[in-house]
Amino acid sequence: MDIEDFLKNNKKRENISSEESLLLHKCENIILQAISYQRGKKTTGDIKCCDISQNNSCQGQLSITIIDVPNEIRWECTLCHETGTIKNWCKSPLLISNIKQSLSQKAIQKKTIFLNENEFYEILNLAADFSELKELISLAQRNKDGFLISPDELNSMRLLELIALRCEILQNRSQALEKLKEEIKKYFKEKAPLPEPFLLFQT
Protein backbone atom coordinates (compact mmCIF):
# COMPACT_ATOMS: atom_id res chain seq x y z
CA MET A 1 0.00 0.00 0.00
CA ASP A 2 1.25 3.46 -0.92
CA ILE A 3 -0.05 6.52 0.94
CA GLU A 4 0.47 8.57 -2.23
CA ASP A 5 -2.28 6.51 -3.92
CA PHE A 6 -4.81 8.17 -1.58
CA LEU A 7 -3.54 11.72 -2.12
CA LYS A 8 -3.71 14.57 -4.57
CA ASN A 9 -1.44 17.59 -4.07
CA ASN A 10 -0.38 16.11 -0.71
CA LYS A 11 -3.99 16.06 0.52
CA LYS A 12 -6.56 13.29 0.77
CA ARG A 13 -8.30 12.89 -2.60
CA GLU A 14 -11.80 14.33 -2.75
CA ASN A 15 -13.11 11.45 -4.85
CA ILE A 16 -11.74 8.72 -2.58
CA SER A 17 -14.07 5.75 -2.22
CA SER A 18 -15.39 4.47 1.10
CA GLU A 19 -13.24 1.34 0.77
CA GLU A 20 -10.12 3.43 0.10
CA SER A 21 -10.97 5.76 2.97
CA LEU A 22 -11.26 2.80 5.34
CA LEU A 23 -7.95 1.38 4.15
CA LEU A 24 -6.23 4.75 4.57
CA HIS A 25 -7.70 5.00 8.07
CA LYS A 26 -6.25 1.58 8.96
CA CYS A 27 -2.85 2.53 7.55
CA GLU A 28 -2.76 5.83 9.40
CA ASN A 29 -3.64 4.16 12.71
CA ILE A 30 -0.61 1.91 12.27
CA ILE A 31 1.58 4.86 11.25
CA LEU A 32 0.63 6.82 14.37
CA GLN A 33 1.61 3.89 16.57
CA ALA A 34 4.73 2.89 14.65
CA ILE A 35 6.18 6.42 14.50
CA SER A 36 7.55 6.01 18.04
CA TYR A 37 9.30 2.71 17.28
CA GLN A 38 13.07 2.51 16.86
CA ARG A 39 14.03 2.82 13.23
CA GLY A 40 15.16 -0.36 11.47
CA LYS A 41 14.34 -2.65 14.40
CA LYS A 42 11.48 -5.16 14.45
CA THR A 43 8.98 -4.20 17.14
CA THR A 44 5.95 -6.15 18.27
CA GLY A 45 3.36 -3.88 19.86
CA ASP A 46 -0.41 -3.80 20.30
CA ILE A 47 -1.30 -3.71 16.60
CA LYS A 48 -3.18 -6.80 15.44
CA CYS A 49 -3.22 -8.49 12.06
CA CYS A 50 -6.96 -7.87 11.64
CA ASP A 51 -6.28 -4.11 11.95
CA ILE A 52 -4.68 -4.04 8.49
CA SER A 53 -4.78 -7.39 6.68
CA GLN A 54 -7.57 -8.99 4.69
CA ASN A 55 -7.76 -11.71 7.34
CA ASN A 56 -10.29 -9.90 9.54
CA SER A 57 -10.42 -12.73 12.07
CA CYS A 58 -6.69 -13.06 12.81
CA GLN A 59 -5.80 -11.78 16.27
CA GLY A 60 -2.05 -12.20 15.81
CA GLN A 61 0.20 -9.30 16.71
CA LEU A 62 2.17 -7.51 14.03
CA SER A 63 5.95 -7.38 14.00
CA ILE A 64 6.70 -3.94 12.55
CA THR A 65 9.84 -2.38 11.09
CA ILE A 66 9.74 1.34 10.33
CA ILE A 67 12.47 2.91 8.18
CA ASP A 68 13.04 6.36 6.71
CA VAL A 69 14.88 5.41 3.50
CA PRO A 70 13.06 3.98 1.71
CA ASN A 71 10.10 5.53 3.52
CA GLU A 72 8.33 2.31 4.51
CA ILE A 73 6.62 0.48 7.34
CA ARG A 74 6.98 -3.27 6.89
CA TRP A 75 4.81 -5.63 8.90
CA GLU A 76 4.41 -9.35 9.45
CA CYS A 77 1.81 -11.19 11.49
CA THR A 78 3.40 -13.31 14.20
CA LEU A 79 0.51 -15.80 13.95
CA CYS A 80 -0.56 -16.24 10.31
CA HIS A 81 2.67 -14.75 8.86
CA GLU A 82 0.89 -12.50 6.37
CA THR A 83 3.14 -9.60 5.35
CA GLY A 84 2.65 -6.12 3.96
CA THR A 85 4.27 -2.74 3.41
CA ILE A 86 3.03 0.82 3.86
CA LYS A 87 5.01 3.12 1.57
CA ASN A 88 5.48 6.89 1.96
CA TRP A 89 4.17 6.88 5.53
CA CYS A 90 5.66 10.36 6.08
CA LYS A 91 2.98 11.80 3.76
CA SER A 92 0.09 10.59 5.90
CA PRO A 93 -2.32 13.56 6.24
CA LEU A 94 -3.31 12.51 9.75
CA LEU A 95 0.32 12.19 10.87
CA ILE A 96 1.24 15.61 9.45
CA SER A 97 -1.82 17.19 11.06
CA ASN A 98 -1.00 15.67 14.46
CA ILE A 99 2.62 16.82 14.34
CA LYS A 100 1.72 20.37 13.31
CA GLN A 101 -0.82 20.53 16.14
CA SER A 102 1.78 19.26 18.61
CA LEU A 103 4.32 21.85 17.44
CA SER A 104 1.72 24.59 17.75
CA GLN A 105 0.90 23.54 21.31
CA LYS A 106 4.60 23.48 22.24
CA ALA A 107 5.06 26.95 20.80
CA ILE A 108 2.18 28.27 22.92
CA GLN A 109 3.48 26.58 26.05
CA LYS A 110 7.05 27.84 25.64
CA LYS A 111 6.71 31.40 24.38
CA THR A 112 6.32 33.30 27.65
CA ILE A 113 8.67 34.92 30.14
CA PHE A 114 7.48 34.94 33.75
CA LEU A 115 8.20 37.48 36.49
CA ASN A 116 6.68 37.51 39.95
CA GLU A 117 5.15 40.74 41.22
CA ASN A 118 8.25 41.96 43.12
CA GLU A 119 10.54 41.26 40.15
CA PHE A 120 8.16 43.02 37.77
CA TYR A 121 7.95 46.24 39.78
CA GLU A 122 11.68 46.30 40.40
CA ILE A 123 12.32 46.02 36.66
CA LEU A 124 9.59 48.58 36.00
CA ASN A 125 11.56 51.09 38.10
CA LEU A 126 14.75 50.29 36.17
CA ALA A 127 12.97 50.74 32.84
CA ALA A 128 13.09 54.54 33.15
CA ASP A 129 16.78 54.43 32.18
CA PHE A 130 16.60 51.28 30.04
CA SER A 131 14.59 51.82 26.85
CA GLU A 132 14.63 48.15 25.82
CA LEU A 133 13.23 47.17 29.20
CA LYS A 134 10.50 49.77 28.87
CA GLU A 135 9.35 48.25 25.58
CA LEU A 136 9.47 44.72 27.02
CA ILE A 137 7.57 45.63 30.18
CA SER A 138 4.83 47.31 28.13
CA LEU A 139 3.86 43.85 26.84
CA ALA A 140 3.42 42.28 30.27
CA GLN A 141 0.08 40.73 31.15
CA ARG A 142 -0.90 40.01 34.75
CA ASN A 143 -1.97 36.53 35.81
CA LYS A 144 -2.70 35.03 39.21
CA ASP A 145 0.99 34.28 39.93
CA GLY A 146 2.64 37.42 38.54
CA PHE A 147 3.27 38.77 35.04
CA LEU A 148 3.69 37.02 31.69
CA ILE A 149 5.50 38.54 28.71
CA SER A 150 5.07 37.09 25.21
CA PRO A 151 8.22 37.84 23.17
CA ASP A 152 6.58 36.68 19.92
CA GLU A 153 4.48 39.84 20.06
CA LEU A 154 7.59 42.00 19.70
CA ASN A 155 8.46 43.49 16.34
CA SER A 156 11.95 42.04 16.58
CA MET A 157 13.48 39.25 18.62
CA ARG A 158 16.64 41.35 18.56
CA LEU A 159 15.24 43.31 21.49
CA LEU A 160 15.49 40.28 23.75
CA GLU A 161 19.07 39.73 22.70
CA LEU A 162 19.95 43.35 23.54
CA ILE A 163 18.35 43.08 26.97
CA ALA A 164 20.12 39.81 27.75
CA LEU A 165 23.44 41.26 26.61
CA ARG A 166 23.02 44.40 28.69
CA CYS A 167 22.04 42.34 31.74
CA GLU A 168 25.16 40.23 31.20
CA ILE A 169 27.60 43.17 31.13
CA LEU A 170 26.02 45.14 33.97
CA GLN A 171 27.95 44.96 37.23
CA ASN A 172 26.11 44.53 40.51
CA ARG A 173 22.90 43.69 38.68
CA SER A 174 19.83 43.17 40.82
CA GLN A 175 18.25 39.82 41.51
CA ALA A 176 15.31 40.80 39.32
CA LEU A 177 17.56 41.54 36.34
CA GLU A 178 19.38 38.27 36.90
CA LYS A 179 16.03 36.48 36.86
CA LEU A 180 15.02 38.27 33.65
CA LYS A 181 18.29 37.32 31.98
CA GLU A 182 17.77 33.67 32.89
CA GLU A 183 14.16 33.77 31.67
CA ILE A 184 15.28 35.15 28.30
CA LYS A 185 17.96 32.47 27.99
CA LYS A 186 15.38 29.83 28.89
CA TYR A 187 12.98 31.22 26.30
CA PHE A 188 15.49 30.91 23.47
CA LYS A 189 16.53 27.44 24.65
CA GLU A 190 12.98 26.14 24.91
CA LYS A 191 11.49 27.59 21.76
CA ALA A 192 9.46 25.03 19.82
CA PRO A 193 11.70 22.75 17.74
CA LEU A 194 11.85 22.74 13.97
CA PRO A 195 9.43 20.33 12.27
CA GLU A 196 10.47 16.73 11.93
CA PRO A 197 12.64 16.17 8.81
CA PHE A 198 9.92 14.29 6.97
CA LEU A 199 7.65 17.35 7.15
CA LEU A 200 10.10 19.10 4.88
CA PHE A 201 8.98 16.79 2.08
CA GLN A 202 5.64 18.60 2.14
CA THR A 203 7.08 22.02 1.25
Distance CA 176, CA 128 (A): 15
Q: Which of 6-10, 160-164, 188-192, 196-200 has the lowest mean pLDDT?
A: 196-200
**Which is more confidently placed, 104 or 179?**
179
Q: Is residue 197 in some structural domain?
A: no
Do 69 and 48 belong together in one domain?
A: yes
Residue 200 scores a pLDDT above 70: no
Residue 89 and residue 38 share a domain: yes
Same domain, 94 and 157: no
The mean-pLDDT minimum among 43-47, 70-74, 98-102, 105-109 falls in: 105-109
What pLDDT sits at residue 179?
83
- Give the integer Cα–Cα distance in Å for 120 and 134: 11
118-to-35, 145, 163, 186 alpha-carbon distances in Å: 46, 11, 19, 20
Q: Which of 104, 131, 150 is the last residue of a domain?
A: 104
**Residue 49: pLDDT band by 50, 70, 90 thresholds?**
very high
3-state secondary structure of 138: coil
113-163 pLDDT tens trace: 888 888 888 888 887 777 777 888 888 888 888 888 876 644 546 677 777
Residue 182: pLDDT band (50, 70, 90) is confident
Q: Which of 50, 82, 104 is the last residue of a domain?
A: 104
